[in-house]
Amino acid sequence: MKHLQLILICLCLVCGMLAVTPTYTVQATDFEGKESEYYEKCKSSDLSRDDIQVCSEFKDYISEQNDALEDQIKENEQKIAELDLQIDEVVQMIGELSTQIEAQEEKIAFMEADIANLEAGIEEKNEKIRDRLYVMQSTINSNVYFNFLMGAESLDDFFGRLASIDEITSYDRELIASLKADKEAVEVEKASAEEERSKLAELKSQQEALGEQLEAQRTEYNEQIEAAHEQSEEFKQEMEAMQDAIDEASRQNGDNLGGSTNNPLGFGQPVSSGTVTSAGWFYVSLNQSPHLGMDIGAPIGTELYAPANGVVIYMYTGCPTSGSGYGDTCGGGAGNALIMLTQVDGITYAVKYYHMKNENLLGWTSGSFIPVSRGQLVGHVGHSGSSTGAHVHIEVINLGAVTYAQGARMFSSGGYSFGTGTGYTGYNNRCSVKGSAPCREMASEMFGYQLYQRIG
């Protein structure tokens, strides 16, 4: 029966968390056109607490600009790949046209040989006609016809004079007609071949012009990619310099920044005082069921601090500070809650506080990002939602190498768990097992605390 009750409670928690998940839009300081000013400001060695918040936001802005550059690089690389295919097609077309032109030129060469043969045949027929005329001359014993024909200035003139001589036999007329037809056929065929070769040459010229145009586009895209890579490298160097300045300023300016000396993320102390009542992955009691966070017991009203520089992307308020206890479904069982994002060594982490006091110290509104600094007061311990006593429940989720805006979208689509699940599903999505983001980190290990350790 107890096990069934726990299952029903977990279902209520999941449904409640999904119900309160908002949709996000990014709201930030307007940095456009002022990049140089903020570059210099955010690399200085004397950043105030307010400067730290603004510069963290500016670093995210530059990170998003860099993401846009990388998207442009990928887009241009895709365009180049498409151009390469087109260029290959054009080169293939030019090769085919060259082959056709060569074939046509061979055809013309054969036709010119045929023309030479036909002209030789014409000359041969011409000789036969001359021989025939000599025969005619000897037969009619007259020199008039011969002198008349031999005085022609051209072959056409010669044909014209022949046509006027009635004495030419039917055989002579057929021979002359055949001669003219052969000559005309050769001239037509040669003109057709020349025209076809001209068309192929023009088409080849057009394809070569297209190839040159595509190569010019390819060169332009490569130049854009190179420029984008250079800009991206500058962005990364500037972000690294700004992060160093922000980290140094955080160490110098923050109050309540102290934390465990052996936590891997450098997180500061989350509460002013308290005792770790649950650590690891399972409850000490409650049938050893999965517990995906760390509990720190402390009186209601105990101060809660941001463990690192980052942005608060979500707050849930409205639950009574001291609720009805275990099984209370207000806020999906999480009660009044705060979710923030922070970045360590290029990795974005979500840090979640549950069961808080009913208040909104940061003035958070739906869809907004509230920059916070390490050690900044963000709320107080409460006893809201499904809680057995006053405490804060803390979870840490590794989101991978994403921007704050991308992290907020992961929350919008994946709910409180950022897509890692709850219960045994969440347990199976531990980073040490899954090996890829998003995944769950052991909160007590990330903060460097042990079970029953006293804080503050």
Distances (CA, A) of 434 to 80, 271, 386, 425, 429: 36, 30, 29, 11, 5
Q: CA-CA distances (angstroms) from residue 99 to 200, 202, 258, 413?
A: 10, 14, 80, 59
DSSP, collapsed to helix, strand or coil, labels residue 268 as coil
Radius of gyration (Cα) for the chain, nearest Å? 46
Report the distance separating Cα 338 and Cα 317, nearest Å: 9
pLDDT at 140 over 70: no
Phi, psi of 131 (to 5 degrees): -60, -40
Q: From the CB of residue 128, how many other CB atoms can be counted at a distance below 10 Å?
A: 13
Dihedral, CA of residue 14, residue 18, residue 19 and residue 20, to nearest 10: 110
Query: Would you say 239 and 59 are in contact if contact means Cβ atoms under 8 Å apart?
Result: yes
Reply yes or no on whether the pLDDT at 84 is more than 90: no
* CA separation for the pair 368, 313 (Å, rounded): 6
What whole-number distance in Å separates Cα of residue 430 and Cα of residue 201?
68
For residue 247, the 8-state DSSP code is: H
- How many other β-carbons are positioned within 10 Å of the β-carbon of residue 366? 10
In angstroms, the CA 316 to CA 379 distance is 12
Cα–Cα dist 74/229, whole Å: 11
Quote the CA–CA distance of 270 and 258 in Å, as a whole number: 9
Contact 130, 118 (CB under 8 A): no
Of residues 454 and 5, more confidently modeled? 454
Closest CA to 319 of 414, 395, 387, 418: 387
Which of the following CATH numbers is that of domain 2-30+257-449: 3.40.470.10, 3.10.150.10, 2.70.70.10, 3.90.1640.10? 2.70.70.10
Provide mean pLDDT across the span 323-343.
94
CA 153 to chain centre: 80
Mean pLDDT of 273-277: 92
pLDDT band at residue 179 under the 50/70/90 scheme: low
Q: Which residue has the higher pLDDT, 101 or 147?
A: 101
Q: For residue 350, what are the contacts with CB-CB under 8 A and spacing of at least 6?
A: 339, 340, 341, 395, 396, 397, 399, 407, 411, 418
**CATH number of this structure's domain 81-227:** 1.10.287
Nearest-angstrom CA–CA distance, 318 and 136: 131
Report pLDDT for 18. 35
Question: Cα 260 to chain center, whole Å?
Answer: 41
Indicate the helix (H) or strand (E) that contains 72: helix 49-140
Between 276 and 45, whose confidence is greater?
276
Percent of the chain residues past pLDDT 70, beyond the cut: 76
Apex 245 CA angle, 397 and 34, nearest 5: 95
User: For residue 423, what pLDDT band results from cuts at 50, 70 and 90?
Assistant: very high
> How far is the C-alpha of 18 from the C-alpha of 26, rounded, in Å?
21
User: What pLDDT band is residue 149 in, cutting at 50, 70 and 90?
Assistant: low
Kindly indicate the confidence band of residue 96, based on its pLDDT and cuts at 50, 70 and 90: confident
**CA dist 321 → 6, 61, 204, 314, 404 (Å):** 23, 36, 82, 18, 29
The pLDDT assigned to 24 comes to: 36
DSSP state of 417: G
- In 141-152, where does DSSP find H-type helix? 144-150
Cα 416 to Cα 278, 307, 313: the distances in Å are 20, 19, 12
Could you tell me the pLDDT band of residue 6, with boundaries at 50, 70 and 90?
A: very low
> pLDDT grade, residue 132 (50/70/90)?
low
User: What's the pLDDT band for 292 if we cut at 50, 70, 90?
Assistant: very high
Pairing of strands 310-316, 370-372: antiparallel
The 3-class SS string of 307-362 reads: CCCEEEEEEECCCCCECCCCCCCHHHHCCEEEEEEEEECCEEEEEEEEEECCCCCC
Between residues 83 and 175, the one the model is more confident about: 83
Read off the pTM: 0.49
Domain boundaries, the chain: 2-30+257-449, 81-227
Quick check: 273 pLDDT over 60? Answer: yes
d(CA 13, CA 327): 9
